[in-house]
Amino acid sequence: MKGFFLAILALVVSCAATAKPPTVGLDCGRVTGFKTVAERQFLSAESGGGNIYNVNVTFTGKKPTNAQAEAALRDCLAKASKMDGSKDMLASAWLKPRIGAPDGEDDLLSPFGSMRYLGYKASTKKISVEPIVLTRK
């Protein structure tokens, strides 16, 4: 299952250059001193996304601390899980260099380290930091 999240993370990163999955704006992730935008994307099984949600929080202009990014991600995962807690979720923090910059210029932030992610597991209704496990096919 954890290897599945690595595939989803790769899909999320590749989606920045392709058509954007269906999204819903979220009212969450506010951090004092930062401009943030939050959204929930549905990644369907048909698109190769595994029938989960990806929750994105984008910071604009300046990079947050890891603690600030984590707080925003946890807030948004909690909000998204209240909207629909029936699907697993993966949270991603992004840095947009400036207002109006194209999506392709956003940088993926790694507040938990390069091989860890924050997710919501529908079966347990828990939000937790998990390691990414690489698998071979």
Residue 29 lies in a domain: yes
Residue 137 lies in a domain: no
Answer whether residue 13 is part of any domain.
yes
d(CA 102, CA 120): 28
pLDDT tier at 114, thresholds 50, 70, 90: confident
Residue 83 domain flag: yes
Per-residue model confidence as pLDDT tens digits over 127-136: 999 998 777 6
Distance between CA 119 and CA 74 in Å, rounded? 9
Instruction: With a cut of 90, say whether residue 7 has pLDDT above it.
Output: no
Check if the beta carbon of residue 132 is closer than 8 Å to that of residue 8.
no
Q: What percent of the chain has pLDDT over 70?
A: 84
Tally of domains in the chain: 1
**15 found inside a domain:** yes
Residue with tokens 């699907």: 87
Does pLDDT of 9 surpass 60?
Answer: no
- CA-nearest of 36, 27, 11 to 78 is 27
- Provide the residue range defining the domain that includes 94: 2-131
Does 20 reside within a domain?
yes
* 136 within domain boundaries: no
How does 31-44 read in b/e, with b if 16+ C-beta sit within 10 Å?
beebebebbbbbbe
Q: Any idea what DSSP says for residue 61?
A: S
Tens of pLDDT, residues 51-84? 899 999 999 999 999 999 999 999 999 999 999 9
Q: How far is CA 25 from CA 32, 36, 46, 60, 137, in A?
A: 19, 11, 22, 16, 35
